[in-house]
Homo-oligomer: A and B are copies of this chain.
Amino acid sequence: MAKLLVFGHQNPDTDAIASSYGWAYLEREAWGRDAEAVALGEPNEETAFALDYFGIPAPRVVESAVAEGVSQVILTDHNEFQQSISDIREVEVAAVIDHHRVANFETANPLYMRLEPVGSASSIVYRASKEAGITLPKEVAGMLLSGLISDTLLLKSPTTHKSDPQVAAELAEIAGVNLEEYGLALLKAGTNLASKSAEELIDIDAKTFELNGNHVRVAQVNTVDIAEVLERQEEIETAIKSAITAEGYSDFVLMITDIVNSNSEILALGTNMDKVESAFAFTLENNHAFLAGAVSRKKQVVPQLTESFGG
């Protein structure tokens, strides 16, 4: 059987790396297929913490499926083509394991597609492993747990599904970690922004959405101190303006998320600030505004922008 590449989205976060790692394991162990988990970018600091903790090398970074000689790929934690590998339209998508909205995705042939509105793609991989009767090794369970913790901010995000706490408890048991202790350590590993240049900071976890013809970049950084990040506003705005010019974004929306108190500050620049303001019913002052209770890009930012930008 021809080789399959399994990968999460560009600018991979922990769930992207973990779900592709776990799904490739299932492809090999449960279904006997030749599957390799790769990544569309280097792991961020949070993911590096998880990989190091469970003794797993970082996945190989690939830029082209065709150059790898594969004709079939499996996408985890994303489906939108602009978030995927550069030559996604040149290969066949054999499967998608995801927990996002569906958009800018199409295939010529029927495929396996498993989307559930749960807290992480890793949650779905875990459920599939149980259905397949596979006992996960400690390090695979540990990575899937890390993906779930990362995407749900330790089960506190509104994206957390009612089935996720049980998934987390089972994975923590297999992985041999204390959920709360390991979870907080993992999240804190991702808040070390001081070591990052402004260019790096706005690209840690950023995705582009096509909203009614506009290319809207929505980035998110986690912190334990919003004010500390805002001290670098001038430098960050310069980086955002450069990205807008270089990449042709219409707008750039940065969520600065306080993982302890579960709020976000929104810093936004671009040509549709009226639509950004109406999306969140707030007024940007000096290009930013507070969004109480908002921690989820997927539930609390992207649908509101989609609605405001119009279909």
Contact = CB atoms under 8 A, between A and B. Distances in A.
Most chain B CB atoms below 10 A, which of A102, A103, A131, A311: A102
Contact of A109 (B106, B116, B303): B303
Q: What 4 pairs between A and B have smallest CB-CB spacing?
A: A113-B115, A110-B117, A103-B106, A101-B107
Given A113-B114, A113-B116, 19 more contacts: A101-B107, A101-B108, A101-B109, A101-B111, A102-B102, A102-B106, A103-B106, A103-B107, A105-B105, A108-B303, A108-B307, A109-B299, A110-B116, A110-B117, A110-B159, A112-B115, A113-B113, A114-B114, A131-B131
A279 to B, nearest CB: 12
A232 interface: no
A306 interface: yes
A188 interface: no
A275 interface: no
A110 B105 contact: no
A175 to B, nearest CB: 25
Interface string A12-47: 000000000000000000000000000000000000
Interface string A296-310: 001100110011000
A104 interface: yes
A107 B302 CA distance: 11
A44 to B, nearest CB: 22
A306 B108 contact: yes
A133 to B, nearest CB: 13
A89 interface: yes
A99 interface: yes
B102 A113 contact: yes
A215 interface: no
A207 interface: no
Contacts of A104: 106
Contacts of A303: 108-109
Nearest to A305: B108
A248 to B, nearest CB: 21
A241 interface: no
10 contacts: A99-B110, A100-B110, A102-B105, A102-B107, A103-B106, A108-B302, A110-B298, A111-B115, A112-B115, A113-B116
Contacts of A117: 109-112
Nearest to A161: B110
Contacts of A111: 101-102, 115, 117
Contacts of A115: 110-114
